[in-house]
A = this chain, B = another copy of it.
């Protein structure tokens, strides 16, 4: 299996559902901890309307802070999620290194999110991806709801693969499948990524899972088997709705790193540091987070 590249999305997908706004100073400290830990890509936030999502209001400021010379080692890349051209402009102005953007494979989800059909949303996102690539930025384009949709249920695999083909035809080289609803199962994950792998040379595949039904790490294994290299996860397993008991968070970063290290991968990542961060985040929100290892401690050999 290929070496996994870790993309930490806790500051974006982890925090965006949290009603309690995290003060800028806390975010700074959490990003510092992530940089120290040795993860590869840190998604600092999304470029959305700050009035609609106050939790993301300081995204530009965070990028400015960590784009300053010496603020991070070059091996750590900063990624940001953009939904539209305005976000892309903001992201280019404040130092985003890896632009993440995507289209939902579900017509209902696409309409609700963007007011556009899947086909139209793809046209727009591909245009944005081209602009970002022309500006010399790295770009990852995702298919959201790739494994099923909370509104529509099952999503035809051909629809997912057709979107990916459009991305690849446009010159995109990093493609992500996002399990927005948490519906993915290992067989489906291995099949879909396996298909994408055959669609061209030099494709980098990224996987984004939620642990809604407990299959998160099993799906990560399946993605790795199929050749995905980027795995996205959030500290503490954040990302579930804080007002239900539904443990629907992202795959948990420290649980993922723990598993990878058990598999002999990424021994240099500072698991203890990540566990410390998860404890700090749990203390901040004053509740138990979905992650396992920050509670159990790692396996001792």
Listed by A's residue number, 22 A-B pairs whose Cβ atoms lie within 8 Å are A181-B299, A182-B299, A185-B263, A187-B263, A212-B292, A212-B296, A213-B255, A213-B258, A213-B259, A213-B292, A213-B296, A213-B299, A214-B216, A214-B217, A214-B259, A214-B293, A215-B259, A215-B262, A246-B295, A246-B296, A247-B295, A247-B296
* B185 and A262 within 8 A (CB): yes
Partner of A185, one of B153, B183, B186, B259: B259
Contact indicator A288/B245 (Cβ below 8 Å)? yes
**Copies of this chain per assembly:** 2
B residues in contact with A186, CB < 8 Å: 221, 259, 263
Whether a CB of chain B sits under 8 angstroms from the CB of A125 is: no
Query: CB of A222 within 8 A of chain B?
Result: yes
Interfacial residues of chain A within 239-264, with CB under 8 A of chain B in the complex: 245-248, 252, 255, 258-259, 262-264
Interface size class of A (residues with CB under 8 A): 35 or more
A148 within 8 A of B: yes
Smallest CB gap from A263: residue in B: B187
Chain A 148-171 per-residue mask, 1 if CB under 8 angstroms from chain B, else 0: 100001100000000000000000
- Bound: A222/B264 CA distance, A: 16
Say whether A75 faces chain B, with CB atoms less than 8 Å apart. Answer: no
Closest residue to A261 on the B side, CB-wise?
Answer: B185
Q: Report Cα–Cα, A182/B292, bound state, in Å.
A: 12
Q: Which chain B positions have C-beta within 8 A of A258?
A: 213
Chain B hits for A214, CB < 8 A: 211, 216-217, 252, 255, 259, 291-293
Q: A52 at interface (Cβ–Cβ under 8 A)? A: no
